Amino acid sequence: MGQRKPIMAANWKMHKTIQDIKVFFESFLQLVEGVDDREIVIAPSFIGLSDACRMTVGSKVQIAAQNMYFQEQGAYTGEISPTMLKSAGVDLVILGHSERRHIFGEDDSLIARKVRSAADHGMAAILCIGETLEEREAGLTEQVLSSQLLLGLALLESGHFASISIAYEPVWAIGTGRTASPEQIQDAHGFVRGTVENMAGEAVAQQIRILYGGSVKPGNVREIMSLEDVDGALVGGASLEPESFARIVKYE
């Protein structure tokens, strides 16, 4: 993994009320005290962002949004803008999550505009990519990953790459309890790094962090994090309980 600082990120999806978030942080912050050789990220729903930012002031936990729109303001009912997120204290956003793509119909060109907008607003972004089971079984994994990367990052200029991370999340491993094998994960991550190298050069490819997501748990995180091209994890279900996510953060 070299010099890349790991990112251990929780994606809470549509879970937790503001009250639940308070309860989580009351124990979680103590459990991860003293952990400073990795970044800890938590992405609550929009409604919890301001409180989560307040509750984590002075801690090492960074709060992220799960999505955003690319425009700053306007007639876009139901959407949240980068400037709104920044006003709540959020400067990191997850973009292109498979649930956004598959349930809400986001396509690569929309996601590319969001990725560019994050960069334009000085926000870091985690771009999610990953193949479906049908695509994997049809031998299309690398084709899907390269197309999602090329299209999703298409609007960036070279200086923007420093604030981008990639999350490889095979759709068939999300919320299914079915983790990709270490070999499948390393193969995909190596391929992603190679694709980034072709796009943006070796220096960018060596510094960019590639997270794995899909049924990460305390029991499998250590093996996953030991893989050469894995620089972090993006965790859904197993991030909801403070003890469980703290064990993942510490690879215990």
Residue nearest to ligand 13P (CB): 236
Cα–Cα–Cα angle for 234, 123, 70, nearest 5°?
95
Q: Judged by CB under 6 A, which of 6, 7, 8, 11 binds ligand 13P?
A: 11
Least distance CB 174 / ligand 13P (angstroms) = 4
Q: Does 235 bind ligand 13P (CB under 6 A)?
A: yes
The count of other CB atoms within 10 Å of the CB of residue 116 is 19
Q: Does 175 bind ligand 13P (CB under 6 A)?
A: yes
Least distance CB 210 / ligand 13P (angstroms) = 14
Residue 122 DSSP SS3: coil
Q: Judged by CB under 6 A, which of 44, 82, 152, 214 binds ligand 13P?
A: 214
Q: Is 110 or 126 the residue whose CB approaches ligand 13P more closely?
A: 126
Q: Which residues contact 208 (CB under 8 A, 6 or more apart)?
A: 161, 164, 165, 166, 193, 196
Instruction: Round to whole Å and give the CA distance between 105 and 29.
Output: 36
DSSP state of 73: S
Q: Does 192 bind ligand 13P (CB under 6 A)?
A: no
Cα-flanking dihedrals φ and ψ of residue 84, to 5°?
-65, -45
Task: With CB under 6 A as the rule, give the number of residues binding ligand 13P.
Answer: 14
160 is catalytic: no
**In which region does residue 139 sit, left (phi positive, over 0), alpha (psi from -120 to 50) or beta (all else)?**
left
Q: Judged by CB under 6 A, which of 123, 174, 185, 196 binds ligand 13P?
A: 174
97 is catalytic: yes
Interface with ligand 13P (CB under 6 A): 11, 97, 169, 174-175, 213-216, 234-238
Active site residue ranges: 97, 169
